Amino acid sequence: MTSLPSMIGGLEPQAAFNENLHARAGALRDEVFGQKVFVRGVVEVSNFCRENCSYCGMRRDNRSLDRYRLTLDSLRTLIQEGIPGIVTDLNIQTGEDIVGIREIVLPLIEYLRQETDLGISVCLGTLEPKIYDELKQAGASYYIIKMETGNPRHYREIQAPGTFEERLEAIHYLARTGWAVSSGFILGLPGQTREQIDETLDLMSELPLAGSSVSPFIAGEQTPLSGNPAGDLETTLDCIARMRLRNPSYIIPAVSALNLVGNNGYVRALKAGANLATINLTPSSNRADYVLYKRDRFIMHEARVKKAVEEAGCTTSSQSISKTWADFQNGNGQP
Ligand code: SF4
């Protein structure tokens, strides 16, 4: 049973703004990456999902959601019509949707590899090792797979994908087979304790990762957690800073949800050590149905990203995450 004084999930007033912590983390990011922020485009290819996470609007039990898969032709057109020049990497994202991966994601990666120099990231869930291998063979190099919590019991309670052990095994397999792997967690899930946050930050540092993220919890309208308060901005920013200080070379994103839980959250995340901004490239007609939290999303487009990066005193990187990480692995670059 959780004791009230240590609870974060909306029950305790926010932690004090820790200016010094954030400044130290921002300075370390600058030291390692030279005030550069990566800009990654994201395209949300399919919102079908076989999982049932209690915090996600795309869970399989949400029968009221219009499900979609973008067509390969429409994605080719999107790329041909031009991706913003500041984008160096593209993240292809879906729910856990094997059909979508086979029919759309794999040929899309092959197309991107042939036609562009973009670094290719994927966020597709826990899959069979054979599929990870095929995705890598096709040309992807960076796999995003969130733990959501570092506590096995909490993982079960929030109905996160599969089991905690399977998720860890997937991360180890991916890292072992040459992927750059990024994980992450949600701050402010109902019932989350400070001890669980510390445990999760420990796990994020112990795993063989190239990056990690922390996103503030926002209750999805058609989820079992609907109606719960959002995660606290200050604690989220503190976690970003702590992550940077413990893992200088990590790719750490500023996530758009930060702007929904407090004023200027996105820029403050960049100042607290984050080094990745994301531009949403999903066609506007489908964005509202990709409901990781709620339909009313804060969408980062090119102009917003440019402004935020500038306000944070940074510039955008002309080199992709994939190339930078490969350089790190080959001993070129600092970490
Ligand atoms: S968080 Fe991911 S795996 Fe879980 S229901 Fe949502 S899309 Fe599916």
Per-residue pLDDT of the chain (335 residues; tens, 9 = 90+): 333 334 444 434 444 468 899 999 999 999 999 999 999 999 999 999 999 999 999 999 999 999 999 999 999 999 998 899 999 999 999 999 999 999 999 999 999 999 999 999 999 999 999 999 999 999 999 999 999 999 999 999 999 999 999 999 999 999 999 999 999 999 999 989 999 999 999 999 999 999 999 999 999 988 999 999 999 999 999 999 999 999 999 999 999 999 889 889 999 999 999 999 999 998 877 777 777 666 566 778 899 999 999 999 999 999 999 999 988 888 776 54
Task: Specify the pLDDT at position 13.
Answer: 41
Residue closest to 140 by CA, chosen among 179, 87, 98: 179
What pLDDT, on the 0 to 100 scale, is given for residue 242? 98
The span from the CA of 137 to the CA of 140, in Å, is 7
Contact 300/84 with Cβ under 8 angstroms? no
Strand partners, 69: 46
Residue 180 φ then ψ, to 5°:
-80, 125
Cα of 219 vs centre of ligand 1, distance in Å, is 14
> Rounded CA gap, 32 and 34, in Å?
6
Residue 18 lies in a domain: no
Whether residue 51 has its Cβ less than 6 Å from ligand 1:
yes
User: What is the Å distance from ligand 1's center to 175 Cα?
Assistant: 22
What is the pTM assigned to this prediction?
Answer: 0.93
161 lines ligand 1 (CB under 6 A): yes
pLDDT score of 10: 41
Q: Is 262 in the pocket of ligand 1 (CB under 6 A)?
A: no
**In a domain? residue 273:** yes
> From atom 2 of ligand 1, which residue's Cα is the shortest distance away?
95
Instruction: Provide the pLDDT for residue 5.
Output: 32
CA distance 316 to 319: 9
| pLDDT of amino acid 295 | 56
CA distance linking residue 56 with residue 155, whole number of Å: 14
Instruction: Classify residue 320: in a domain, yes or no.
Output: yes
Distance between Cα 186 and ligand 1 center (Å): 13
Cα(83) to ligand 1 centroid in Å equals 26
pLDDT of residue 293: 65
C-alpha of residue 125 to centroid of ligand 1, in Å: 8
Report how far residue 175's alpha carbon sits from residue 143's, in angstroms, rounded to the nearest whole number. Answer: 9
CA 55 to ligand 1: nearest atom: 1
Range of the domain at 85: 34-329
Tokens encoding 247: 């893992």
The 3-class secondary structure across the chain, one letter per residue, is CCCHHHECCCCCCCCCCCHHHHHHHHHHHHHHHCCEEEEEEEEEEECCCCCCCCCCCCCCCCCCCCCCECCHHHHHHHHHCCCCCCCCEEEEEECCCHHHHHHHHHHHHHHHHHHCCCEEEEECCCCCHHHHHHHHHHCCCEEECCCECCCHHHHHHCCCCCCHHHHHHHHHHHHHCCCEEEEEEEECCCCCEHHHHHHHHHHHHHCCCCEEEEEECCCCCCCCCCCCCCCCHHHHHHHHHHHHHHCCCCECECCHHHHCCCCCHHHHHHHCCCCEEEEECCCHHHHCCCCCCCCCCCCCCHHHHHHHHHHCCCEECCCCHHHHHHHHHCCCCCC
Q: Is 220 in the pocket of ligand 1 (CB under 6 A)?
A: no
Name the closest-CA residue to atom 5, ligand 1: 59
Q: Which numbered atom of ligand 1 lies nearest the CA of 57?
A: 6
Judge whether 6 lies within some domain. Answer: no
Residue 169 falls inside a structural domain: yes
Report how many domains make up the chain: 1
Closest CA to ligand 1's atom 7? 95
Given a contact cutoff of 8 angstroms between Cβ atoms, the answer to whether 239 and 201 are in contact is yes
CA of 159 from ligand 1 middle (Å) equals 10
In a domain, 148, yes or no: yes
Q: Which pLDDT does position 9 carry in this prediction?
A: 47
Per-residue confidence (pLDDT) for residue 298, from 0 to 100: 73
By most ligand atoms within 8 Å of CB, the mutation choice from 48, 51, 127, 291 for ligand 1 is: 51
8 located within any domain? no
CA of 151 to the centre of ligand 1 (A): 18
Give the span between the Cα atoms of 296 and 287, in whole angstroms. Answer: 10
- Report CA dihedral (325, 331, 333, 335) to the nearest 10 degrees: 80
- Owner of token pair 């149905």: 289
Domain CATH code at residue 293: 3.20.20.70
7 inside domain: no
* C-beta 184 within 6 A of ligand 1: no
Q: Which two tokens stand for residue 277?
A: 């901004």
